[in-house]
Structure 1
């Protein structure tokens, strides 16, 4: 028996309302998707949620895709499993660059899509691996989303959620409710959160805060770089030794250098002690005297200002003592606990990955002993085979905390270590080169000071930085007497900061060699 089946009686032909959520691990994207589906079903709609996870940490967010339709008796909708470019009504991005990715994928279209995004940043691996500033320009993303979306709601939802003791998914749910793009009342959104049964009150606080924010000020202004902020130098620091340092800065240096000098004094007092900060002022004072007699006043003391910055950086080098100090500070434990949202009835453990080399161990030794070990390759190699290995250190356990705390206490003898001797020698050689150019090429001398930016970190990172520093400085013989020498030196430094392997620097040095 043959029957003719009318497909229209079995399947709905209405177009579903489509929604895509782009969130990284820990941002509650799955919870947000469940809330949206639960909300729709409670309101008599049919909904389906699917997800496609990112392949690795911060190489791509998980995409949660939801389609929904009002339920109809006897009609079974067929929902798609994946978003189709040009056919998504609502996109929620839990981070600014994920909003940009959604535009690149074609999920955001000007005639259709409402884009709801948090403007905070969680930096991608590609951004963090660059030795210099590899951060993507957020203003480019904002410009793209303004062009691509029919409507955009964008503000810092992550901070808003944290202030209310919740996670960003609750803030995004509030912004979604405020956008009025789903045909459900606000009370229905709140009821969906309550039905979850966990963390209800913090989630509701974050939801309502974001709802009000989206209604009153739906957009935040995004800038390419955050404004630099320096603490104002006080009249008194509340301690005799520190007060003397403040008085010296005011009496011996131009006002234009005060912000960086004050920052340097604070950094070096924290790194070592007030006496070490006084040594810093002594050294910068000598540089300022040379700057003054070589026409520095006419150039707004650019040499002194940059010296105030980078001499402090050079003197506060990263060594084993510094690393151990930072990892055992109570403020660090409190900060991490706050960042991960530890509750009062929970215990936090942090696992550090450390890979010490014999070079770091020798650097921590008194200089005579360190030189003795270095001069005996067999002893050095024998010790290195036992030390040079990766370790996972739980700083919350008594053994490892006391081990690192003991290392941090070595700051009292830091001035007598081999590492301090090497850092001092390198610093003085660098500053002597810079001052030798003051009378010949002032701008080039300033760029030589700025080259210290290439040296950072410890262990392998420090070694690579020193190598790049030396290679950039090797161009001085070519650039010394050129009017555009400073500009070329700056280009070389920027090339060195582009990639870890130094490929861009290789090309830049070849260009300079042809000048």
Structure 2
């Protein structure tokens, strides 16, 4: 005769998402309805490199009494031995699969499809994000049943937290031997945030009952209407794009124009189109080259200097976004503190070219500035003083085109465009890979310095190899540079291809 087994539930949740509350709800519901219940937790690493795993086991009290004693319940989940896995985020669902907690024969997986990017994803020099479609496909194959939708959005709409949504989805799945009323009574007994929790619970219950698998409905693509700017100079740029460039590239080019007007002014956006016109004039079918150059040129021309960073940190939309994310109530005061640590390099780059280079090459003035900037400082941008301080820095964009930083970036951009044009004549695929090398140059301060160093290293290898360089080799060098901020993988790749 097979011995009775407890119901085994694993919960993977990040800090602040109510994973502990969810585990306590399940325990309370079990104990209130004739079950012996136990919960344990294994804390994850801080700063979003792993979630806390809460583990719950439920065993029928009547069966325990019939067995003549209390059951011995496990302290942590074992691979292949879990009935239900609840994951507060898609990557955590993937981690559960990786740990073997999800099996096709047994496990019901309930997960949110939204993403909170991990430290590894955020700190990658390139696009380090894991592709959500692959995660969904992998987890769907691993589970016996997979219930998923954007639970963070559902929690936001209900004014609650994701734990209440997960609890509702768990109830709606029907995998536990409890009624909806028993689930709801558990929330009510908690006595905290009952109304929004019940609202979130009900919405999630209906989604799970309806068999919602989180897949978005396929809708026919609707062409975006052409912009109709009121300013004559801006309208002239839009008309130039529509008149002088292939239709397939116009959306990218218009976005580049919009970005650069916001970054600097109309004339600067006109320079962008002048440069792109030269790329469009390259003979042959160069649509992909045109697209890649349009994207990366707009990004490079809107490089992040001190004026740009200050402007972004003091925008009204940013204050509104932070207030929304923090859920600030009308009677609450929001304070935003920014940690600023400008180095001598950034200060020199903000100055006119001649003055900046003089300061970088000086002795006593350089030491005085370095002493002043030795330590970072906190600026409260939500205060009048801090806000005006950064707005003053942001206003310095009017002198941007005369600065040392602009001279350096403009020189690199012109050299990059010349290489693209020359390479496209003999090897269009290599020219596309060359256009994508702009990805190496990004950010500001130390991040920008490392990126430029890697970019220069790759360009030297490109010049050294000449026409013999294969597109795949350049792509490999670029990916190696993006994979390692210290440049070790790039150096190894250079040695491998005899380009060191």
TM-score under structure 2 length normalisation = 0.91
SS in 2 for 1:67: strand
Residue of structure 2 aligned with 1:69, choices 45, 53, 59: 59
2: CA distance, partners of 1:368 / 1:406: 22
- Given the alignment, which residue of 334, 339, 346 partners 1:360? 346
TM-score by length of 1: 0.89
Given the alignment of the two structures, is residue 92 of structure 1 paired with residue 78 of structure 2, yes or no? Answer: no
Distance 2:101 2:222 in 1: 41
Q: How many residues are aligned here?
A: 491
Could you say which residue in structure 2 is the equivalent of 1:501?
486
Q: Is the 8 A contact 2:17 2:162 kept in 1?
A: yes
Is the CA contact (8 Å cut-off) linking 2:461 and 2:499 kept in structure 1? no
* SS of residue paired to 2:311: helix
Which stretch of structure 1 is more off in the superposition, 170-179 or 35-44? 35-44
SS in 2 for 1:497: helix
Partner Cα separation in structure 1 for residue 330 and residue 181 of structure 2 = 31
CA contact (8 A) 1:129 1:500 kept: no
Query: Given the alignment of the two structures, is residue 416 of structure 1 paired with residue 402 of structure 2, yes or no?
Result: yes
Q: Does 1:480 align with 2:466?
A: yes
The aligned counterpart of 1:154 is 148
After TM superposition, give the deviation of residue 514 of structure 1 in Å. 6.6
Q: Distance in 2 between matches of 1:341 and 1:349?
A: 13
What does residue 122 of structure 1 align with? 116
How far does residue 322 in structure 1 lie from its aligned partner after superposition?
Answer: 0.6
What SS does the aligned partner of 1:277 have? helix
SS in 1 for 2:484: coil
Q: Indicate yes or no: 2:310 matched with 1:320.
A: no
1:285 to 247, 264, 277: 277
2:485 is equivalent to residue 491 of structure 1: no
Match of 2:437 in 1: 451
Q: For residues 256 and 317 of structure 1, what CA distance do their matches in structure 2 show?
A: 26
CA contact (8 A) 1:17 1:89 kept: yes
Deviation of 1:277 after TM superposition, in Å, equals 1.2
Gap change, CA 1:370 and 1:233, over 3 Å in 2: farther
Equivalent-residue separation in structure 2 for 1:84 and 1:377 (angstroms): 64
Q: What per-residue deviation string (whole Å, max 9, x for no partner) do you get for residues 26-77 of structure 1? A: 2111121122122223324332222111132222211111122333478544
Aligned counterparts, 1:350-429, within 5 A: 350-429=336-415
| C-alpha contact 2:13 2:19 (8 A) present in aligned 1 | yes
- Assess if the C-alpha contact under 8 Å between 2:464 and 2:499 holds in 1: no
Counterpart selection for 2:177 from 167, 170, 183: 183
Unaligned runs of 5+ in 1: 1-12
1:330 aligns with 2:316: yes
Which of residues 240, 243, 264 is equivalent to 1:272? 264
Following superposition, the deviation at residue 254 of structure 1 comes to 1.6
Structure 1, residues 239-270: CA drift from partner, whole Å, max 9, x if none?
32221111111112121220110110111111
CA contact (8 A) 2:344 2:369 kept: yes
Alignment of 1:184-203 (within 5 A): 184-203=178-197
Kindly indicate whether the alpha-carbon contact (under 8 Å) linking 1:86 and 1:107 is maintained by their aligned counterparts in 2: yes
1:30 aligned to which of 16, 20, 28: 20
Q: Could you tell which deviates more after superposition, 80-89 or 404-413?
A: 80-89
Maintained 8 Å contact 1:47/1:66: yes
**Which residue does 1:10 correspond to in 2?**
none
SS state at 2:147 partner? strand
Residue in 1 that maps onto 2:101 = 107
- Per the alignment, do residues 346 and 191 of structure 1 end up closer, same or farther by CA in structure 2, a change over 3 Å counting? farther
Separation in 2 of the partners of 1:68 and 1:485? 61
Task: Tell me if structure 2 keeps the 8 A contact 1:325–1:408.
Answer: yes
In 2: Cα distance, 1:59 partner to 1:101 partner: 11
Q: Does 1:20 align with 2:10?
A: yes
Question: What do you get for the CA RMSD once the two structures are aligned?
Answer: 2.5
CA–CA separation in structure 1 for the residues paired with 2:244 and 2:363: 48
Q: Is the 8 A contact 1:352 1:394 kept in 2?
A: yes
Shift of 1:143: 4.3
Structure 2 CA distance for partners of 1:230 and 1:335, relative to 1, 3 Å: farther
Distance of 1:306 and 1:79 partners within structure 2? 58
Which position in structure 1 is the counterpart of 2:245? 253
1:218 aligned residue: 212
In structure 2, do the counterparts of structure 1 residues 392 and 514 end up closer, same or farther at CA, with 3 Å as the change threshold? closer
- What residue in structure 1 maps to residue 497 of structure 2? 512
Residue pair 1:478, 1:513 contacting (<8 A) in 2 also: no
Give the CA deviation at 1:88: 2.0
Which residue does the alignment assign to 2:328? 342
Partner Cα distance (2:135, 2:345) in 1: 44
The answer (yes or no) to whether the contact 2:349–2:403 under 8 Å persists in 1 is yes
Q: Which moves more between the two structures, 62-71 or 19-28? A: 62-71
| Deviates further, 177-186 or 101-110 | 101-110
Residue of structure 2 in register with 1:307 after alignment: 293
TM-aligned CA deviation for residue 118 of structure 1: 1.2
Gap runs ≥5 in structure 2: none
Report what 1:206 is aligned to: 200
Structure 2 Cα separation of the partners of residues 448 and 389 of structure 1: 39
2:222 and 2:481 mapped to 1: Cα distance?
Answer: 27
